[in-house]
Amino acid sequence: MFFALHIFFRVLLVVPFIMAAYLLFLTVSAVIVTFISRKKGQNENNEYIFVIPAYNEEKLIHKTLDNLLKEVEYDKSKFEVIVIADNCADKTAEISRSLGATVLERNNDQLKGKGYALEWGLEQCWAQGKSPDAVIILDADTVVSANFLHAIDDQFSKGHQVIQSFYSVLNPTESWSAGLRYAALSVLHFVRPQGRSLYGGSAGLKGNGMVFATDIIKNHNWSSSLTEDIEFHMSLLLEGTKVHFAPDAVVWAEMPNSIEDANSQNERWESGRLEMAKKYVPELIRAAILPKQGQKRNAIPQLDAVMEHVIPPFAIFNGISLILIVVGSILFFIDRSAPLAQQNFFVALAILMIQIVYLLSGLILTKAPAAVYKNLLRAPFYVLWKIMLVFRIFSNKTEDDWIRTARNES
């Protein structure tokens, strides 16, 4: 009886172990790349436009625009800041104009959402004859590093047509929730794309701080789905275009200071992730093995993207690993003499330990503040919240409308 249980448990361990081994590979790759010296770019070869879709952002947009127009170290004649005031019922447009941004106002009660706003706003730019070398998409609650355009220009001048900057948390010390979000993004937005740059993977698009050559973005429609960035990335991969990572170009955005305020944002993200996985995993596998006519074989980035889709969110994976440890411990203590029981316990332990190494590496590589390490003590609460959120997603339909995430506006 126990032998059958051990065999069954071994089978259960296979997939989590493969996922953990993949994360360890990414971690080692990221460490290698980070410690290879990089030449800091100071070129100002290209012209850019920042495009900022904004929905009722009168309390925060000034910080974003002051940062871009006053603090970014780049020839001011070579970039423009455009705000798309989408269905705004406040003073977002008026404030943006007063600060020096170009404002495009859109009012459409039927087609609401960031994707619709971006698609419309970019069409207006082309109609007005704007012809930058590249377009940078930012969220309205974002600030960027002073060297942002220098770092992007360095990558763009090397021929990279789509670039993702490092998207991090602006307020990691304000609450334990924001601190844990910083920890999660340190691995999702830094370790993974940084590691992929070593072996030719695609960094992915994170929704904020994305850079597109004008020819690329003109030839693609911007999706209105919950995760338009993921869908855009999938279309790029299927046609053979990779996203490159620019770790020195940093964008920081505020995260809600409480779990309750983060609910709507996370429900949209995770619901969209599940939909994208169902839609694109089979297509990516097929394209990697037998591409359609007109599609380029891009096996490494495409199969790598499959792994990105199937690995659950870090908190969920961590929760699964803890359950495996508990089950492995029980089986080990009731049947200690069985070699399978011992092996299974140590495999389950290795899965959890790899995740700890992965997380700590992300915090070290991104130079996380001390408060973030202290907030890891609250991680069990975060894991429980994330599990409950996923259950809600399976039982409810998430709306596609532009639902404004709660901000820390006080």
Q: How much is the pLDDT for 405?
A: 58
pLDDT at 310 over 70: yes
Rounded to whole angstroms, how far apart are CA atoms 357 and 31? 12
As given in the structure block, the two tokens for residue 5 are 């249980």
Q: How much is the pLDDT for 265?
A: 66
Rounded to whole angstroms, how far apart are CA atoms 174 and 408? 10
134 vs 314 pLDDT, higher one: 134
Structural domains of the chain in order of their starting residue, each with its CATH number? 38-283 (3.90.550.10)
pLDDT at 3 over 60: yes
Q: How much is the pLDDT for 260?
A: 67
pLDDT at 401 over 90: no
Q: How much is the pLDDT for 41?
A: 67
pLDDT digits (tens, 9 = 90+) for 233-255: 999 998 889 999 999 999 999 88
291 vs 138 pLDDT, higher one: 138
CA contacts within 13 A on the Cβ side of 34 = 19
Q: How much is the pLDDT for 398?
A: 52
Among the listed ranges 26-35, 189-198, 284-293, 351-360, which one has the minimum average pLDDT value?
284-293
Q: How much is the pLDDT for 409?
A: 56
Q: How much is the pLDDT for 404?
A: 57
Burial degree of 409 (CB within 10 A; 0-12, 13-18, 19+): exposed
CB < 8 Å & 24+ apart, contacts of 94-101: 95/58, 95/61, 95/62, 96/54, 96/61, 96/65, 99/61, 99/62, 99/65, 99/66, 99/69, 100/65, 100/69, 101/52, 101/65, 101/69
pLDDT at 407 over 60: no
209 torsion bin: left (phi>0), alpha (psi -120 to 50), beta (else): left
As given in the structure block, the two tokens for residue 198 are 């070593």
pLDDT at 399 over 70: no
pLDDT digits (tens, 9 = 90+) for 322-361: 999 999 999 988 887 788 989 999 999 999 999 999 999 9
Q: How much is the pLDDT for 5?
A: 87
Task: With cut-offs at 50, 70 and 90, classify the pLDDT of residue 55.
Answer: very high
pLDDT digits (tens, 9 = 90+) for 59-102: 999 999 999 999 999 999 999 999 999 999 999 999 999 999 99
Mean per-residue pLDDT for 377-388?
83
Helix residue spans in 202-296 (DSSP H): 214-218, 228-239, 259-289
CA gyration radius for the chain? Answer: 22
Please tell me what DSSP assigns to residue 349: H
Q: How much is the pLDDT for 36?
A: 82
pLDDT digits (tens, 9 = 90+) for 217-227: 998 888 776 67
Task: With cut-offs at 50, 70 and 90, classify the pLDDT of residue 264.
Answer: low
Q: How much is the pLDDT for 90?
A: 92
